[in-house]
Amino acid sequence: MSLELLLIVAFGGALLSYLFGKICPQIRDPFAVISSVALAVMMAFLYGKTMESPFYFGFLGLPLILRTNMLAWFFAMAISILGALSVIFSWDYVKDRERTDFYYLMLLLANASMLGIVFAGDFVSFFVFWEIMSWSTFLLISYNRGRALGAGMKYIIMSIVGSVSMLIGMLSLYAIYGTLHIATLSKLVPSASSGYLLFLFILFGIAFAIKNALMPLHTWLPDAYAESPTSFNGVLSGMLTRMGMYGFLLIIYVIVGAARALNLGPGIFKFNYILAWLGAITIVVSTFIALLQNDAKQLLGWSAIGQGGYMILGIAFGTSLGLAGGIFHTLNHAVYIVLLFMSVGAVQYRTGGQRDLDSLGGLIKRMPVSFIGALLGISGLIGIPLTNGFVSKWLIYKTLILEGHPFLAFAALIGTWGCILYCYKFVHHIFLGQLPEKYKMVARAPFSMQLPMIILSLVILLFGILPGIPLKVINTIGTSFGFQSLNVTTWGIASETGTLNTINIFAAVVAACVIVWLIFKAGPKAVPVAQEDTYAAGAAIPKDRYHYTVDFYNPLYRMISPYFKDFIGGFCIKLAGWTQNVCHGIRQMYTGYIGHYVMYIVLFLALLIFVQLKWSLW
């Protein structure tokens, strides 16, 4: 099976579903689902293959090349599966909206272009697919209009800045080496001077850091996540944001090579230290900002920024353990953040788009599957043992401790402990507590929403209990980068500096749960009671006002809120305001009175003459 065929299926599926939507709307949804599932199945057959073939000649004399290897396959698999699940989730979610054909086109196009990015064998096709991805994402983020337009504008401006910086990097590569073929570059670039490598890292780093939302360049993400349609959030948060991670892996490990790339620079200002500290700052700051959010999707958005920091921390040290942790965390994060967004989406779908944490509550009684999804999602996010997030975080912490960076490890760990607070807040405010009167009759999520949630929940547990399955693939990626192979077993990692054995933990937890359950069963049976039958000092409880949500961590908020604000986001807004003012000032020139225009021309000519007389430039 050739890669061209895969991409044709991906892009063709997108275009055809748009056409079907115009011609015969009934078969559009099934077609979109079938094409994306077929794509995932085809992708699975590509496992373990490496191939490379040009697919189009004659662009400035540069061949456009598609190639695949373990790294590309790993990302492509995740993209296609999560994409398929998102398409299934969209089935009911966007059914009653307008412009659904357009929605499906853009959703599938974003997926297809991501596949293009990971399969691209040269920088021209990489850049083309990158731009398709940015623009289709922009159109989907602003799909809801209103506030979403602003969020989309923020996203596309930052994306363009990133793309331009990447374009400059590519041009300089082309000017020096005369080729943009990644495999050839990876042989030539490592011998370049340190200064040039730093220049490359900064240019490409800006592009990838913007996409991965690394701390000073993260400002697009919370609004974009919050305002885009929730069914698209799966694609956006799962893999699209992590294309930045793929880019970092590409530039650091594939092209320049870890040994050269990470030791660049003097003393403590080495490239990997700077990268790691940016990651650490991202984790801590965004965790505490997430704590202060009251909007479910904003909260998840900030948490996604923080989790991006963990991945950066993992790959920043260039050890096989850390690399495995970083790549594995990319996958794990994609799984649980998609699950969390789906759970929010199901709640939104049933409660009329409500995502304000303070006005929900008690939905566990009405939407149990969504609750289980959210619970497993936050368990993965926290990294509770036996869920997937634990293994990857364990690898990252271990790298940091063994490499002798306790302060970085502290930042990572404290990020996790802050994460517990906002995760509990998320689950508590939406699903636990008192069920408001108006949501008493809310129905369960439709099957098309439950199915992806169930699948992802199972994946979280599977990767948590048997982490060896994905870790073996990741280990192959590591060895292809020239690292020592890890001693991976199906249930963990064995090494002399501390072993991880998840199956032991699993057995112990299951046994303990069974024993405790048996003891509990021996006692008298508990009587189920209504939520109104709860202690209120003898009074009958007030309806709709007995759920403690507003200012949930009040003392903590008061302590941290002066320090943890989105200063950079605020600065960007201010910058936009200044630019607007300046432009407004310039616009005052256009008075509509012909005499003024004549005066401008005369003044400009006078300036030219003056310059020529004074310095004789021409």
Footprint on residues 180-239 left by another protein (CB under 8 A):
none
Min CB(120)–another protein separation in Å: 38
Q: Report yes or no: 297 and 344 within 8 Å, Cβ to Cβ.
A: yes
Calpha distance 385→252 (Å, rounded): 31
Min CB(533)–another protein separation in Å: 7
Min CB(530)–another protein separation in Å: 8
Min CB(130)–another protein separation in Å: 37
List beta partners, residue 493: 488, 500
Pairing of strands 62-68, 500-501: unpaired
Contact between 394 and another protein per CB under 8 A: yes
Min CB(396)–another protein separation in Å: 10
Binding residues for another protein, how many (CB under 8 A)?
A: 80
Contact between 174 and another protein per CB under 8 A: no
Which residues fall within 8 angstroms of residue 468, CB to CB, at 6 or more apart?
488, 489, 490, 491, 492
Q: Report yes or no: 92 and 349 within 8 Å, Cβ to Cβ.
A: yes
Closer residue to another protein, CB minimum distance, 251 or 374: 374
List beta partners, residue 369: none
Calpha distance 472→461 (Å, rounded): 17
Closer residue to another protein, CB minimum distance, 230 or 370: 370
Left (φ > 0), alpha (ψ -120 to 50) or beta: where does 243 sit? alpha
Cα–Cα nearest to 18, from 89, 107, 145: 107
Q: Report yes or no: 212 and 308 within 8 Å, Cβ to Cβ.
A: yes
Contact between 128 and another protein per CB under 8 A: no
Closer residue to another protein, CB minimum distance, 37 or 384: 384
Closer residue to another protein, CB minimum distance, 428 or 565: 428
Return the exposure string of 284-315: e unless at least 16 CB atoms fall within 10 Å of the residue's CB, then b: bbbbbbbbbbbebbbbbbbbbbbbbbbbbbbb
Among positions 116, 383, 452, 464, the unique one binding another protein when judged by CB under 8 A: 383
Calpha distance 394→423 (Å, rounded): 19
Min CB(464)–another protein separation in Å: 12
Structure tokens at 413: 């760990």
- Residue 59 has φ and ψ, to the nearest 5°, of -90, 100
Q: Report yes or no: 324 and 253 within 8 Å, Cβ to Cβ.
A: no
Structure tokens at 142: 């602003």
Closer residue to another protein, CB minimum distance, 146 or 404: 404
Give the other-Cβ count within 10 Å of 95's Cβ. Answer: 12
Contact between 548 and another protein per CB under 8 A: yes
Per CB under 8 A, contacts with another protein among 398-437 are 398, 401-402, 404, 406-407, 409-410, 413-414, 417-418, 420-421, 424, 427-428, 432-435
Contact between 364 and another protein per CB under 8 A: yes
Closer residue to another protein, CB minimum distance, 519 or 583: 519
Distance of CA 498 to the CA centre of its chain: 31
Contact between 544 and another protein per CB under 8 A: no
Per CB under 8 A, contacts with another protein among 524-543 are 524, 526-540
Per CB under 8 A, contacts with another protein among 490-519 are 492, 497-502, 504-505, 508-509, 512-513, 515-517, 519
Min CB(200)–another protein separation in Å: 33
Distance of CA 399 to the CA centre of its chain: 23
Min CB(553)–another protein separation in Å: 5
Among positions 336, 397, 463, 481, the unique one binding another protein when judged by CB under 8 A: 397
SS (H, E, C) 569-587: HHHHHHHHHHHHHHHHHHH
Which stretch in 113-121, 142-150, 394-402, 456-464 sits in contact with another protein by CB under 8 A? Answer: 394-402
Contact between 520 and another protein per CB under 8 A: yes
Closer residue to another protein, CB minimum distance, 68 or 370: 370
Element (H, E) at 489: strand 488-489
Closer residue to another protein, CB minimum distance, 203 or 427: 427
Closer residue to another protein, CB minimum distance, 79 or 391: 391
Distance of CA 270 to the CA centre of its chain: 27
Which stretch in 104-112, 193-201, 377-385, 481-489 sits in contact with another protein by CB under 8 A? Answer: 377-385
Among positions 81, 124, 547, 564, the unique one binding another protein when judged by CB under 8 A: 547
Among positions 390, 426, 481, 483, the unique one binding another protein when judged by CB under 8 A: 390
Closer residue to another protein, CB minimum distance, 98 or 496: 496
Min CB(436)–another protein separation in Å: 11
Per CB under 8 A, contacts with another protein among 47-76 are none
DSSP one-letter string for 8-40: HHHHHHHHHHHHHHHH-GGGHHHHHHHHHHHHH
Calpha distance 561→386 (Å, rounded): 34
Which stretch in 45-53, 65-73, 136-144, 382-390 sits in contact with another protein by CB under 8 A? Answer: 382-390
Burial class of 32 by CB neighbour count within 10 A (0 to 12, 13 to 18, 19+): buried
Min CB(537)–another protein separation in Å: 7
Closer residue to another protein, CB minimum distance, 421 or 576: 421
